[in-house]
Each structure stands twice: as structure tokens, then as C-alpha cells.
Amino acid sequence: EAGVAQSPRYKIIEKRQSVAFWCNPISGHATLYWYQQILGQGPKLLIQFQNNGVVDDSQLPKDRFSAERLKGVDSTLKIQPAKLEDSAVYLCASSLERDSPLHFGNGTRLTVT
Amino acid sequence: SQQGEEDPQALSIQEGENATMNCSYKTSINNLQWYRQNSGRGLVHLILIRSNEREKHSGRLRVTLDTSKKSSSLLITASRAADTASYFCATPYSGYSTLTFGKGTMLLVSP
């Protein structure tokens, strides 16, 4: 089966600019996650979707981050405006259902200068 | 919030040796999962152990779970250079499903 696809692979922007990341999960996976991974740390959940509804966005900085999952398939994560501390790898993952193992994409490495 | 903590933070061994990593967590769980992350890549699921299981095997991997001590261990036997990666334990919080990850153990296996 095709894995989780993410783009772009790398992005460099200046602070206060906007950026968007795209994720296409494994076909048929109902649950989609966005994680932020800062260098040297484990992934931190930003938002979890079940089909196209939000299950958990308690750790999403809603003043600058937004995410949507249209038609319950692919998803975009946006940061507007970016801050220096947003420099991280943004990982998308999907699972067949809640409580199933997660399948991760290779992530987007964001550098904010 | 972080639920699991891996120990040690870094581990360096020779090929052929066994590697053991530990994970401690804070609240009751219904399952615990281990993931591997190679440099510059996403995480790969290794094994899931449920709260009613004490031990699980997958190839060269052996995972144990002690719910009374809220701890788990991952043993990699006969390590290879290709096992060099970071290893994370992940546990659900808020009852189920939303996984939280520890900071990981960085394993270096030298030829």
C-alpha cells in the first residue's frame, strides 16, 4: 500500500510569514494526525481528525495554527504568522481507526529565520 | 502533555549485542506502543502491547509491560548497524486513542 504522503519536504521562511503543509493519508484510514517534533524531542500532537471532524485540538496554538481535512481525506496545516519557535518537523500520520497503530509520513522540516 | 519517559536517553553498543530501552508512564493505559525513527524520516510502528499482555515478541524484538509499575521495556537482540535509530514509546491519554510520545532513546549500533 502507498504510505502517507507529505509535501513539501523542506521549507524555509522568515518570521511573520505564512506557510502551509499538505498531507495525503493512506487510503481508507479514517483517523489523521498532525504532530510537531522539535529537534531532540518526541512528537507532540497538534490535532487529530476522525474522518473530517476534529477529535482533539487541545494543543494546537489556535491563534496562529489552523488545520482542515476536507472530505475526510487529505489535510492541510497552516501557520500564520510563523514564529522562530515554530521551527520543527511537522509529521502527518494516519491510522485505520482509533487505537490502531499510526503510519507516519516523512514530515516537513520547517525553518523559520 | 508528555506521558511516557524513555530511559536511557542514549545507548551505544556493538553489533551483535542486545539493546534494552525502558519506558515509564504516569496514568492507566489500555495499550502501549513502540516506534522507531531513522534520522530524517517519519516514525515506524514496531509493536503494540495491550494492558492485559505481559510480553510480546516480533522477530528480534521483545516487549514487556508491567502495569503495576507503569513501565515497559523494549529488547532488541543481536543488534545490527541498521538498528541505529531513535526509539519512542507511546501511550494514549484521555482514555484512549490520542498517542503521546516520550523524548526517545537514541540507539547507536557500531559495526
Per residue, the 3-state secondary structure of chain B, as one string, reads CCCCEEECCEEEEECCCCEEEEEECCCCCCEEEEEEECCCCCEEEEEEEECCCCEEEECCEEEEEECCCCEEEEEECCCCHHHCEEEEEEEEECCCCEEEECCCEEEEEEC
> CA B11 to CA A106: how far, in whole Å?
24
Q: Which of A42, A45, A105 sits opposite B98 (nearest CB)?
A: A45
* Cell numbers describing residue A40: 531532540
Q: What is the mean pLDDT of chain A?
A: 94
- Residues in A closer than 8 angstroms to B90, CB to CB, are 102
Res B97 pLDDT > 70? no
Which of B21, B15, B27 is CA-nearest to residue B100?
A: B27
CA distance A98 to chain B (A): 5
Give per-residue pLDDT as tens, B7-26: 999 999 999 999 999 999 98
Q: Would you give the DSSP letter of residue A86?
A: G
Res B78 pLDDT > 90? yes
* pLDDT-wise least confident of A77-86, A92-101, B83-92: A92-101
Q: Would you give the DSSP letter of residue A101?
A: P
Record: contact B45-A48, CB cut-off 8 A: no
Which chain B residue lies closest to A57 (C-alpha atoms)? B98
pLDDT of residue B2: 55
pLDDT more than 70, % of chain B: 94
Give residue ranges of A with CB < 8 Å to any B CB.
4, 31, 33, 35, 40-45, 48, 55-56, 91, 93, 98-99, 101-107
Give per-residue pLDDT as tens, A10-40: 999 999 999 999 999 999 999 999 999 999 9
pLDDT more than 90, % of chain A: 84
* Cell numbers describing residue A5: 504522503
Contacts of A21 (CB under 8 A, 6+ apart): A6, A7, A8, A11, A76, A77, A78, A90, A92, A108, A110
- Contact (CB, 8 A) for B40 and B100: no
Record: contact B97-A107, CB cut-off 8 A: no
- Residues in B closer than 8 angstroms to A9, CB to CB, are none
Q: Tell me whether strands A44-50 and B43-50 are parallel, antiparallel or unpaired.
A: unpaired
Res A7 pLDDT > 80? yes
- Bond prior to A61 in cis (omega within 30° of 0): no
Res B27 pLDDT > 90? no
Query: What average pLDDT does the segment A41-49 reach?
Result: 94
Contacts of B48 (CB under 8 A, 6+ apart): A101, B31, B32, B33
- Contact (CB, 8 A) for A104 and A6: no
- Residues in B closer than 8 angstroms to A99, CB to CB, are 30-31, 92, 96-97
pLDDT of residue B28: 86
SS3 at position A111: strand
pLDDT of residue A48: 93
Which chain B residue lies closest to A45 (C-alpha atoms)? B100
pLDDT of residue A72: 81
CB pairs under 8 A between A and B: 57
Using pLDDT thresholds of 50, 70 and 90, give the confidence band for residue B39: very high
pLDDT more than 90, % of chain B: 80
Residue A54: C-alpha distances to residues A33, A60, A71, B22, B62 (Å) = 10, 11, 13, 33, 35
- Contact (CB, 8 A) for B79 and B16: yes
Q: Which of A48, A98, A104 sits opposite B42 (nearest CB)?
A: A104
Record: contact A102-B99, CB cut-off 8 A: yes
Give per-residue pLDDT as tens, A73-92: 999 999 999 999 999 999 99
Res B1 pLDDT > 70? no
Res A68 pLDDT > 90? yes
